[in-house]
Structure 1
């Protein structure tokens, strides 16, 4: 282990199975759907009222707005109804409950945290800091979502998390989000769909298009193109898939950050939103935007995505573009360097790479800046979140994978003006799995998705063996001293 001492805090975030949301539970077999609907439609109205009352009595106290979720799931199966007879609200709710189920967001794991300064520092004492921590929550089927916690750092360095209730809420998805036409065209080109069908859809659309305008253009091209061929169908499916992968969502301010969850929305993230690396980005004009890179996983392939927010109420999710948008572990620098955005990545699944861009949504031309050197990182290296700026250079916490797939956290120092230069490197891990922290969903792993500088300290939340998370403080001067040796 490194000679740099870490201060452990009496904080452990463990998975809580009681935190649940309502998700659709709809059989894939249409005949089964019809059979369930038939049983619900055969009930007398008094039976409907009795059965619905029992459902609400058992489950309503576990959710903020259970009836809204049940009605949403009723609407999902309503096209299968074989009657035009108006249905009572109670019958719709009961039908919705038959096609619903609770999902325990973090029943398996609560891990891979990142941490940023809270946008609201009102009332914080001098020398203190309010923060937001994101966490990857994983439940049944290994489906991952993003949860949040808030807390504060006291002037003396103590850390406390705010209490969190068992209640959870999902955002409202904007039904007609806006898109930027340029990045849309670039992504279609990268995916091999820069053809006459794509041009026919896109050329009539304005630079600032909406989902509704895009849908109208898709329908027009499908209607006007004869004959229908595989190329047309594939192109239109790809455009629709791309639109579904870029969306906007809004949370109600009535709920605390700890009660908000970002659950997979699009098909490309149907099996999980993995390892969000949040960073507080300050642009040259002083504008602050919180970005997070994450990995969308559909059960077969991964796709790096980007989240943007300024208030943690409104979120915009975008597909990243460019030849360098591959693999996991992309981490954005917290400011521009010589007018350009900068990003760490691990395209080759082995080395740490750096790239620059004039657009945070487009990345290409990466270059290797660090390769595995020590045995504890002999399999591969990557980052543990966005770089931390200091007067001596950019501190990058790294993860190294060594024998027996053991993950350790290390650190390197990059030149402040030219971050392609590695000017310092720990030869021993800063943190390694030990004791009970070795046991978990994936044993022998310590991992973080982002740390935070506070004065002369580095606040480092990290996960233990893909199950639970904790926080340590690292003295910045000690770490810089070790990196300078």
Structure 2
């Protein structure tokens, strides 16, 4: 390892299996739903009340809105209720409980963090910083979601994490989200649906349109082209899939940062939302928006996606477009360079690439800027989050994979004006898995999805063997000197 001074802070984020959400537990076989429903309908009112009281006593204290979630899950099976009688609220709640189950978000791991300044810095003492940290939580079935933690860097450099709630809360999925027409049309071109049917759906819609307006246009086109050919059906299905993959989430302000969880919604990410790389992006007018790239995984294929938020309460989840949208590890620069968005990536799962775009949703023509060189990174190299602007250049924290699939953290320095130019890179890794920290969900790994610069320190959170997360500080002057000495 390098001899650059690194201070490990007394912060260790451990997975907590008691942090649970309620998910639908609905059999795929309709016959099993029917048989379960019959058993619920023959219970007497007294039996229903007794069973519901037992459910409340055992589970209600673990959830903010226990009964609300049970009623939502009942609504997903209510069409199987085969009785002319109206059901009591108590029976609906019990049936909802029969088709529900708890899911422990962090039972396997809490790892791969990124860190950005909090959008609200009010009350922070001079020289301090409030931050938001995102984390990948993984539970049963290797399903990953995004969790958040808040914390503060004190003027003396010490770091504290805000108290973590025992509750977690799913957001509201905004029922009538808005979409950008230009992004839809780009995706149609990319998927080969340049035809009159797609044009007919898009024609009456404005530059931004709602899901209800899209549904109305889809219905009109479906009716106009009856009986529908295979091409019509495939085009309309593609538009529906694209709308399902772009959605909005909203959390009530009353819930703390640690209580907010982004769990997979679309079919693209049914098996996980992996390795979100958050960045505070400063727009041309000086305002800030937070972007995050992440990997959607459906159990067989991966798809890079984008998150937008300004307040960590309202999130837009968006598909990315272009031939270069592939593989893992896309990381956006925190501002435009020469009027263009810039992104790091790793299209070939081996080398570090860079690409430029006029549209944050569309990426093409990647070029290699760094290949594996030293033995500790001989298998592949990639980024550990978005580049950080310094006077010396763009600082990119990297990861290198060497023999025995051992992951180490390194760094590279890119030119400020032309980030295709590598000014320096560490000959030795900055952080390596060592001792007992080599053991975990995936052994021999240290990994980060984003750091930040505060004063004369690089604040570097990273995961140990894909299980727990720690935070270190790195002397930025020493790191830059080592990079420039390359």
Q: Aligning the two structures, in what range does the TM-score lie when normalised by the shorter sequence?
A: over 0.9
Question: Which residue of 1 is the match for residue 65 of structure 2?
Answer: 65
Listed one character per residue, the Cα deviations across residues 411-470 of structure 1 (whole Å, up to 9, x for unaligned) are 000011111100011011011111111111111110000001000100000001111110
Shift of 1:331: 0.5
Question: Which residue of 2 is the match for residue 177 of structure 1?
Answer: 177
Shift of 1:373: 0.8
Question: Which residue of 2 is the match for residue 199 of structure 1?
Answer: 199
1-structure distance, mates of 2:122, 2:182: 39
1-structure distance, mates of 2:123, 2:352: 40
Listed one character per residue, the Cα deviations across residues 172-220 of structure 1 (whole Å, up to 9, x for unaligned) are 0101101011110110111122223222322232222111111122223
Q: Find out whether 1:29 has 2:29 as its counterpart.
A: yes
Instruction: Find the residue that maps to 1:335 and give its secondary structure.
Output: coil
1-structure distance, mates of 2:40, 2:178: 39
Question: Which residue of 2 is the match for residue 88 of structure 1?
Answer: 88
Question: Which residue of 1 is the match for residue 164 of structure 2?
Answer: 164
Question: Which residue of 2 is the match for residue 473 of structure 1?
Answer: 473
Shift of 1:226: 3.3
Shift of 1:236: 1.8
Shift of 1:32: 0.2
TM-score by length of 1: 0.98
Shift of 1:84: 3.6
2-structure distance, mates of 1:38, 1:231: 42
Structure 2: segments with no counterpart, 5+ residues = none
1-structure distance, mates of 2:121, 2:188: 42
Instruction: Find the residue that maps to 1:217 and give its secondary structure.
Output: helix
1-structure distance, mates of 2:194, 2:57: 55
Listed one character per residue, the Cα deviations across residues 323-355 of structure 1 (whole Å, up to 9, x for unaligned) are 111111010111111111111111111111111
Question: Which residue of 2 is the match for residue 455 of structure 1?
Answer: 455
2-structure distance, mates of 1:232, 1:406: 49
2-structure distance, mates of 1:39, 1:49: 15
Question: Which residue of 1 is the match for residue 239 of structure 2?
Answer: 239
1-structure distance, mates of 2:216, 2:85: 31
2-structure distance, mates of 1:459, 1:247: 32
Listed one character per residue, the Cα deviations across residues 224-243 of structure 1 (whole Å, up to 9, x for unaligned) are 32333332222222111110
Question: Which residue of 2 is the match for residue 251 of structure 1?
Answer: 251
Structure 1: segments with no counterpart, 5+ residues = none
Question: Which residue of 2 is the match for residue 388 of structure 1?
Answer: 388
Q: CA RMSD in A?
A: 1.0
Q: Pairwise mapping of residues 80-479 of structure 1 onto structure 2 (< 5 A)?
A: 80-479=80-479
Instruction: Find the residue that maps to 1:186 and give its secondary structure.
Output: helix
Instruction: Find the residue that maps to 1:187 and give its secondary structure.
Output: helix
1-structure distance, mates of 2:84, 2:201: 36
Instruction: Find the residue that maps to 1:155 and give its secondary structure.
Output: coil
1-structure distance, mates of 2:195, 2:143: 35
2-structure distance, mates of 1:475, 1:202: 53
**Mean Cα displacement is larger for which, 225-234 or 400-409?**
225-234
1-structure distance, mates of 2:145, 2:229: 38
Shift of 1:67: 0.7
Shift of 1:35: 0.6
Question: Which residue of 2 is the match for residue 11 of structure 1?
Answer: 11
2-structure distance, mates of 1:230, 1:349: 36
2-structure distance, mates of 1:270, 1:203: 32
1-structure distance, mates of 2:46, 2:29: 30
TM-score by length of 2: 0.98
Shift of 1:140: 0.3
Listed one character per residue, the Cα deviations across residues 356-408 of structure 1 (whole Å, up to 9, x for unaligned) are 11211111111111111111111111100000111000100001111111111
Listed one character per residue, the Cα deviations across residues 115-152 of structure 1 (whole Å, up to 9, x for unaligned) are 00111111111111111100000000000000001111
2-structure distance, mates of 1:288, 1:251: 20
Shift of 1:83: 2.6
